[in-house]
Structure 1
Amino acid sequence: MEAERESTEPTAVPPSAAVRAVLGDDDLLREILLRLAFPTALVRAAPVSRRWLRHASDPAFLRRFRRLHPPVLLGFYLRELGARAPRFVPVSRAPELAAAAGQFFISDCRNGRLLVTDFDDPTACRHAVLSPLRPGPARGKKAVLPPAPKLSLIWALFEKPAAAGEDDGAVAVLMLPLGTTTKAKLQVDLLASRSGAWVVRQCEVIDLPETLPPIAYTLPPARGKIYSLTKSGRILRLDMTAARSSLLRQPERASTDNLTLSCGEEGSTLFLIHAEGYLLSIWQLPTTSSDADEWALVYDRVHVREACSRREDVMVLAVDDNLEFVFLRLRSSAVLMHLHLKSGSEKVYDELMVRDGRFLDINPFMMVWPPVFPALRDDDNPDG
């Protein structure tokens, strides 16, 4: 009987064999990779083998991954008047954020990368691109840029990280008014950093519709166009491809200065975010549009519940490139908060108060997308 009972009991499968059986199944492997929470974790898993890299970098798989794990707010950089460097306020608990803090001034923050002025060297300042979310030993290291071009008006990052051997990831824009005639002209130079030097990508002389108005701020180039919010309340659009300019009228309801502009994640749409009292409204204009009146209302008078309950007006401070999070300041209490537009959820930072009259600079720090996978050597494991 004992022998019969032993023969009918199932034979235990060694753990290593069970693991190989699971990871050797392509469908199961894809489902496991799909459950990684961050693209950085996906990049760390991919070098296991060529097979893992093939699955992780497959466009169809990445589309599924993004649907399940859309880019989220990881934190934000906050700098006030008199502070030499911003402080990083984490929203996520991602371990990658340990390298996000540092002593630097931020010029641009885009797709998990920072364009910074580095104060590590007390004798000089350096401009560099920092990628806190980059996996491996390169995480937190700075790609130092060449000295800044003279007369630079805009320092910015390209939309996506540069591939090996291409531009370093930063762009500078120079604007030089020409002539004193009624028909003013503007020379615009777009320069990219490459191999320790600035290389001219494009140079155009553009006729202005009128004398160049005072500019409040300028957005980074987006699909060959540069947008500037002027102090007169209109938007100057410089089209580098067509070498022409135009002044866009703002939507009628957005006539006050309590607004900000964004070119969105892919640069295909210009967004205008406007606050009135405790209400937010957002318009969009395709960057391909030649009509100044094509503004379409995306969000109409969204109630900021926290401001409504406190009976305070809100001031627009910043917006992320995905147009999901809007950072606001409650005018009376000077408390900082952000609103997630799609869900309507709000996060109030009662401990972060910014008094009137103090300069406030906020840079939302988002999860990087798309992931940049490493190249495998010929002797790397082909099968995993």
Structure 2
Amino acid sequence: MPPPTPPMDEPVPVNDGFLRLTDELVEEVFFRLGPDEPSRLVRASAVRKHWRRILADAGFCRRYREFHKTPPVLGLFNEDTSFVPTSALLPAQPEWRPRRRTMAAVDCRHGRALITPYNRYFGDFGEGEPFDLTVLDPLTGHRRRVSCPDNNVLWFSAAVLCAAQGCDHHGCQEGHFRVAFVTTDQQKRVTSGWLYSSETRAWNKLSSAHHHNVTKYTFNQRVPSVLVGDAIYFNIDGVIKCDLGTLRLSMFERPTNVKGRLMTAEDGGLGFAAVVDVTNLTLWSMETGLDEGAMGWSKLRVIDLSTLLPDGVLSIPMPEYEISCFAEGSQVIFISIGACHMVDLKSRRVWKVSPPGRKFFPYMSFYMPAMEAGSTGQGQ
């Protein structure tokens, strides 16, 4: 005689036409609820108390993140630090906002946003005056201030990233972080950089990168960055590589002079995307040759935007169609054409996510409201 089936907390009668599902099968179903819209988990937790306990379990939350691997885009930071949520559960504004519009978002990564003074020329800070950078958790409002490494800098770009070795970055906002800070001296034609550690609370100076194609009109203010391996890349007068292990800056050319964005390539390496010939989205990938580590760009593919975007979008008169940003570690880009459209190059799905904007910084993170709802009886 087979052993009896262990009773569930709330058994579902088989003779009513319902199947008895084990917790493992229920979890497998919940894993398929996409993380880009956390409200799906909230609705599932409201169906049955037993389901709520499953969703509230820390082990399920960990396995859910491991299943999806890449955190979803939950919102967009505009340059003026306004926040455009792409999920119904997230607030239209983070809990923290500057008192005056003198601050700007310059980067978003690993569940954190990096906020800096908007413009040293027109803001509250003059040359030689100290100022702070702010590392912000948009969901909790928790923030850390970091003093600028060089008070004489007027124009700069910066990036924030998790400092933990081997981290999967699924929920590390509360851990230690690093900030990369770069600036170009137009007269000396040299880019300098610093790397901050929240663990030591100190800046380390990076080696400088010298180059010859700097113009006096090039200001590396709020240039988006991309993290690939153990290096941060900035699109400044070419591509500036900040090696986090050797603390060395180096420079190489872009694949085209057309305005574009660095991104994550399909193979996980460094990529570049630009709209060429009016409506052709062209993608490149960085390759390392066999000749003493020589680097070069390889064109991957060309996508006709008229076959990708909704009908009528390209009829909007604009001087140029611009890539606003990309979602790091994925094939999701954002194109500004009348409005900002989120485009998944892999699935070819397109969403209109915000009003027009020239520069956004995607906020990517796993948000598990069902976990709080299951343990406290209410969502966030």
Alignment TM-score, normalising by the size of structure 1: 0.61
- Equivalent-residue separation in structure 2 for 1:89 and 1:278 (angstroms): 26
1:345: Cα distance to partner?
3.4
Aligned to 1:27: 24
Q: Which residue of 1 aligns with 2:62?
A: 57
Where does residue 194 of structure 2 map in the other structure?
189
Deviation (angstroms), 1:299: 4.5
Q: What residue is the counterpart of 1:314 in the other structure?
A: 321
Residue 120 (structure 2) pairs with residue 115 (structure 1): no
Pick the aligned partner of 2:179 from 159, 171, 174: 171
The CA distance in 1 between the partners of 2:336 and 2:228, in whole Å, is 28
2:101 matches 1:103: no
User: Could you say which residue in structure 2 is the equivalent of 1:280?
Assistant: 281
After superposition, the Cα gap between the structure-2 partners of 1:212 and 1:223, relative to the gap in structure 1 and judged at 3 Å, is farther
Q: 1:282–1:297: 8 Å Cα contact kept in structure 2?
A: yes
- TM-score, L = length of structure 2: 0.61
CA shift, 1:26, in A, is 4.7
More helix by share: 1
Instruction: Name the SS of the counterpart of 1:171 in structure 2.
Output: strand
Q: Secondary structure at the match of 2:27?
A: helix
Aligned to 2:298: 295
- Structure 1: which 5+ residue stretches go unaligned? 1-13, 80-84, 134-139, 355-359, 375-384
1 CA distance for matches of 2:113 and 2:300?
A: 31
Q: CA deviation at 1:366?
A: 2.9
Query: Within 5 A, what are the aligned runs for 1:1-384?
Result: 16=9, 18=11, 26-28=23-25, 30-31=27-28, 33-34=30-31, 37-38=34-35, 52-58=57-63, 62-63=65-66, 65-66=67-68, 71-79=71-79, 85-93=80-88, 95-97=89-91, 100=94, 102-104=96-98, 105-117=104-116, 127-133=133-139, 140-150=140-150, 153-159=156-162, 160=169, 162=172, 167=176, 169-173=177-181, 188-194=193-199, 197-200=201-204, 203-205=205-207, 208=210, 210-211=211-212, 213-214=214-215, 217=220, 219=225, 222-231=228-237, 234-239=238-243, 241=245, 243=248, 245-250=250-255, 254-257=256-259, 259-263=260-264, 268-276=268-276, 277-286=278-287, 290-303=293-306, 305=309, 306-310=312-316, 313-330=320-337, 334-348=338-352, 352-353=355-356, 360-368=358-366
Structure 1 residues 226 and 287: alpha-carbon distance in aligned structure 2, compared to 1, 3 A threshold:
farther
Q: Could you say if the C-alpha distance between residues 55 and 127 of structure 1 is closer, same or farther in structure 2, counting changes exceeding 3 Å?
A: same
Q: Within 1, Cα distance between the matches of 2:52 and 2:133?
A: 31
Partner residue, 2:16:
none
Distance 1:283 1:145, change over 3 A: same
CA distance in 1, matches of 2:254, 2:116: 35
C-alpha deviations, 1:276-307, integer Å up to 9, x for none?
A: 21221111215899333242414544435444
The structure number with the bigger radius of gyration is 1
Cα gap change, 1:141 to 1:241, in 2 (>3 Å)? closer
Provide the C-alpha distance between the structure 2 equivalents of 1:192 and 1:23, rounded to a whole number of angstroms. 52
**CA RMSD after TM alignment:** 4.9
Going from structure 1 to structure 2, the CA distance change for 1:239 and 1:297 (only over 3 Å counts) comes to: same
1:22-71 Cα deviation digits (max 9, x unpaired): 9995524533653555397989x99969x94345435xx654x317xx64
Distance in 1 between residues matched to 2:344 and 2:270, nearest whole Å = 19
Q: Deviations over 1:152-211 (max 9, x none)?
A: 7443221536486x52x241335687x97xxx876643222237x3353xx443564x44
Question: In structure 1, how many angstroms separate the alpha carbons of the residues matched to 2:173 and 2:196?
Answer: 17
Secondary structure at the residue paired with 1:205?
Answer: coil
Distance 1:206 1:263, change over 3 A: farther
Matched-pair contact (CA < 8 Å) for 1:88–1:101: no
